[in-house]
Amino acid sequence: MSRRMANVTFGDDSIRIRLFQAALRLATHFFEANEAGHSNGSANIEELNERWQLLKGDQTVSKYVETLLNELQPLKGQPLFDHIRSKLAKPFSFEQNLLRVNQAALDEVKECVTIWGGAKAQARVKHLAPFPIHLETSDHEHTQFFLQHTPRQIRVRPGSQKTLLRECLILRFSFFHEYLSHAFPAWSNDVEEASEGLLLALEFEWFESQYVALDNELVLRVWSRRQERQGRAFWVGRWLLNQCNSHECMRKFLLEWIGSWDSVELDVNLDLLSQLKGMYEKAGRHLGSNMTDKYKKTKDIIDSILCDPCAKAVWDLRKMRDELANALRPYGPKR
């Protein structure tokens, strides 16, 4: 039977869902200790994960916490683990803390779009509200997230014990991705090459610009498998985001384009997406310090298409599509 508290619902009370509750608590206390200046970086994470893996059997959440307290006892005297142990001994609301991470991720999406987007994207993101969270069980190794509009919720399927703690350590990024890639776009149907490719590349760039190396190392380690789904489109996005010297233009273009996707015909959007991928495949790997005249001309076209309209944040998508098609002709088969 489903149970509800605030905006978190539980489809069942499986081992995985109880482990997820314990992992979120451990991750929360780790970040609290980190903010207090007690962390020693990745070494502490590895040590914590080793202790986490010692949990055994079908236990209640409180029993898992009791076991963690015992397993951390040999590390007494190390400030980070002392902090975590002191917190584990106190009351903790899983639902409140999960909703706090959810809200923080949405707030960060709004900050990202406000700083990097144009007027259309900024107007759209203002209307985003937190989605309720529904926890359910699957047998997938990694934690899965699905943002859906009917019913309106983010479904979370906790992964195996082996992966859960690290996934909870980057939970904010996972929710950030769901909101920016699946709630923000103005389309009727998800376009995976954009949501899991281009926008994912932008999300990585945002986190790289805002967080320390350890945070980004964790995100990259856990999310590397997701890049495989739309790996080509992800690297197209990474490449395009580096074409503008200031990085500003492609960021703004992507958010304006996808934030008003349904304002033009689907064929125009898909053609433009195809042209951008083609530009990466044909020319992207050749642009650099020793460019031929052909590649220099291509770079000029990219600058013109992306950067010239940036100040006004108004791009003519049909014109872009046609200009990119012309730019790709020199790379076609010789007749």
Tens digits of residue pLDDT in 120-158: 999 999 999 999 999 999 999 999 999 999 999 999 999
Residues 181-221 pLDDT 10s: 999 999 999 999 999 999 999 999 998 888 765 566 777 77
Q: Exposed, middle or buried: residue 97 (CB in 10 Å: 0-12, 13-18, 19+)? A: middle
3-state helix, strand, coil in the chain (%, to 5): 65, 5, 30
10 Å CB burial of residue 14 (0-12, 13-18, 19+) is middle
Angle at 96 between CA 79 and CA 138, to 5 degrees: 95
Under the banding of pLDDT at 50, 70 and 90, the label for residue 1 is very low
Q: pTM (2 decimals)?
A: 0.91
What single DSSP character describes residue 131?
P
Among 40-54, 116-130, 202-216, 304-318, where is mean pLDDT lowest? Answer: 202-216
Q: What angle do CA 203, 208, 210 make, to 5 degrees?
A: 95
